[in-house]
Structure 1
Amino acid sequence: MAVERQAWPRLRVADWQETRDTLHMWTQIVGKIRLAHAPLVNHWWQVTLYVSPRGLTTSTVPYGTGAFDIEFDFVDHRLRMRTSDGGVRGFGLQPMPVAEFHARTMGLLDELGVSTRIQGHPNEVEPAIPFAEDDRHAAYDAGAAHLFWRQLLQASRVLGEFRSRFAGKVSPVHFFWGSMDLACTRFSGRDAPEHPGGAPNCGDWVMVEAYSQELSSCGFWPGGGEEGAFYAYAYPEPDGFAGQRVGPSAAFYSRENGQFLLPYEAVRTAPDPDGDLLEFLQSTYEAAAGPGRWDRAALESDPARWAHRTHRPL
């Protein structure tokens, strides 16, 4: 697959679905390694991956009195591991079964002295084939993986700008490996009713923690449309949420998914992709915050509030 150079790359889901599904399993393995060592942070924020200048990273993970990190490098196509005592390991990303990726990853951790045990099967998918037995998922199209990272890079950049407009409790822009989506979540400050759960191969108590407070969430998912989709939902969904008017014109409420969707290709081909995506993020947030009676005056913020001083040295 030829690598396109425009800022918002084109990547049809149908063209890389096998690679996507394999990469989903690989990110679950690396995410579970972080989960095994990082202390619990509200809503499972300690388990996520982050968009990096070269791919997806765990960021710094504590281990004993030191630390380590793991990064998917989608530029040179390598899995890289580093420890605070100077250890470095890695291997090339290429077509290989999940079982092999799992064995190589865990073996290199052992070489680095990072003793780790993870749950041996994926979450939020059906069927949940144990990693050590998964020979079904083995595709890796390097060009597609690179394009996916560049999709995430653009989405993360605009989601970060949107995040800056909120002074209340708000998550980082982070990648959830269970559902394979990039997300950013705002909170009203009020408790939410207990979530009923229901995600495949995932304990209901996991969702109870994730949705313990009233929220408005948005992000990007490599599904839900020809080239993926941006999404936005609220929990609990306030009365009238689905009927709220949101923009841009390509956005719509999917009753099947219980959320607003904006096809990635509609953003990619827009004259102002950043502006259209920000319109979607803002209008869907307002669709939740208005009917939900959020204290918007206290929660929202102007990221340009010090712009008049930035020309002066600090």
Structure 2
Amino acid sequence: MWTQVIGKIRLEQTPWINHSWHVPFYITARGIETSLVSYGGRSFSVSFDFHLHLLKILVTDGGEWVLPLETRAVSDFYWEVMAGFKQLGIPVDINTMPSEVADATPFEQDQNNRQYDPEYAWRFWQALVQMDRVFTEFRSRFIGKCSPVHFFWGSFDLALTRFSGREAPPHSGGIPHFPDWVAREAYSHEVSSAGFWPGGGGVDSACFYSYAYPKPQGFAQAKVAPDAAYYSEDLGEFLLPYDAVRTSRSPDDTLLDFLQSTYEAAADKGMWDRSALEKEFPLQAR
């Protein structure tokens, strides 16, 4: 919920970019961050620092505001952040209903304490750092339209999406507290998308995922790697347990095998023009 508060501030202050690419956060050397957000003639960024366990607002005119990351109610976090922005001369206003969450409570009314464990916040971020590195390598093999590697605060996943270049049928929508027109714009063109969830939303534990939209015929039956990967009929996508990657002899290769094989299933079954979309660049000298 804390990332949703900051994410909605970014959402309100940033021009719309296709497929909601103006919304996510990015992995940094200290945690996760909004990147630069414009406000009038000034700009700011907001970061969750998982080394010092601080929320930091930095402004290009030298302004700075810091809040310790510690157990507190979402409502307390929301009001303190709003006060911090006002103190910096950046009054902001957001829709306080959490996105993509069923039976959600508006931020200012959510008074239940939410636990913050510094060790596990740090561990989660460290895992994201490694995933970001491998996802970026996978992204480098594709010269068609491709998203950045980015962290969506609504679904709370690190994601990467490749596009075939062809338009897709309108998405049905139906995501809780998520406008249907946004879902339709996000999936306006054919995609093969992959990422990582820490769990929840129909998944009992942390896992990597990969899906295609629209799902081509035969996609669910495709043979993918590694052996631990499987197709979830309930979710309509391939899943790979995080532990299968973490405990493998080569986590990088295991994850890359999953990303590549599930992409190939989507691209081959969907008859993408792979020769025009793919290129593997030589490794840089080290």
TM-score bin, normalised by smaller chain:
over 0.9
The answer to which structure, 1 or 2, has the higher relative contact order (CA under 8 A, 6+ apart) is 1
Asked whether the equivalents of residues 35 and 47 of structure 1 are also in contact (C-alpha less than 8 Å), the reply is yes
Aligned residues: 284
Residues of 1 paired with 2:198 and 2:233: CA distance?
Answer: 19
Asked whether the equivalents of residues 159 and 173 of structure 1 are also in contact (C-alpha less than 8 Å), the reply is yes
- Using the TM superposition, give the Cα deviation of residue 256 of structure 1 relative to its aligned residue in structure 2, in angstroms: 1.0
- Using the TM superposition, give the Cα deviation of residue 303 of structure 1 relative to its aligned residue in structure 2, in angstroms: 2.3
2:94 matches 1:94 = no
- Using the TM superposition, give the Cα deviation of residue 151 of structure 1 relative to its aligned residue in structure 2, in angstroms: 1.4
| Structure 2 match to 1:274 | 252
- Using the TM superposition, give the Cα deviation of residue 135 of structure 1 relative to its aligned residue in structure 2, in angstroms: 1.5
- Using the TM superposition, give the Cα deviation of residue 80 of structure 1 relative to its aligned residue in structure 2, in angstroms: 0.4
RMSD, aligned α-carbons: 1.3
Which ranges of structure 2 fall in alignment gaps of 5 or more residues? none
**What TM-score comes out, normalization by structure 2 length?**
0.97
| Structure 1 match to 2:45 | 69
- Using the TM superposition, give the Cα deviation of residue 114 of structure 1 relative to its aligned residue in structure 2, in angstroms: 1.3
Asked whether the equivalents of residues 226 and 265 of structure 1 are also in contact (C-alpha less than 8 Å), the reply is no
| Structure 1 match to 2:262 | 284
| Structure 2 match to 1:264 | 242
Residues of 2 paired with 1:39 and 1:226: CA distance?
Answer: 36
| Structure 1 match to 2:12 | 36
**Amino acid across the alignment from 1:249:** D
SS of structure 2 residue aligned to 1:242:
coil
SS of structure 1 residue aligned to 2:208:
strand
| Structure 2 match to 1:249 | 227
| Structure 1 match to 2:156 | 180
Of 241, 260, 278, which aligns to 1:300? 278
Asked whether the equivalents of residues 71 and 113 of structure 2 are also in contact (C-alpha less than 8 Å), the reply is no
User: Matches of residues 103-118 of structure 1 in structure 2 within 5 Å?
Assistant: 103-118=79-94
CA shift digits 1:138-157 (9 cap, x unpaired): 21111111111111111111
Residues of 1 paired with 2:165 and 2:112: CA distance?
Answer: 43
Structure 1 runs (4+) greater than 6 angstroms displaced = none
- Using the TM superposition, give the Cα deviation of residue 227 of structure 1 relative to its aligned residue in structure 2, in angstroms: 4.6
SS of structure 2 residue aligned to 1:241:
coil
**Amino acid across the alignment from 1:254:** S
State percent identity of aligned pairs.
52
2:99 matches 1:123 = yes
CA shift digits 1:134-183 (9 cap, x unpaired): 01352111111111111111111111110010000000000111100000
2:132 matches 1:190 = no
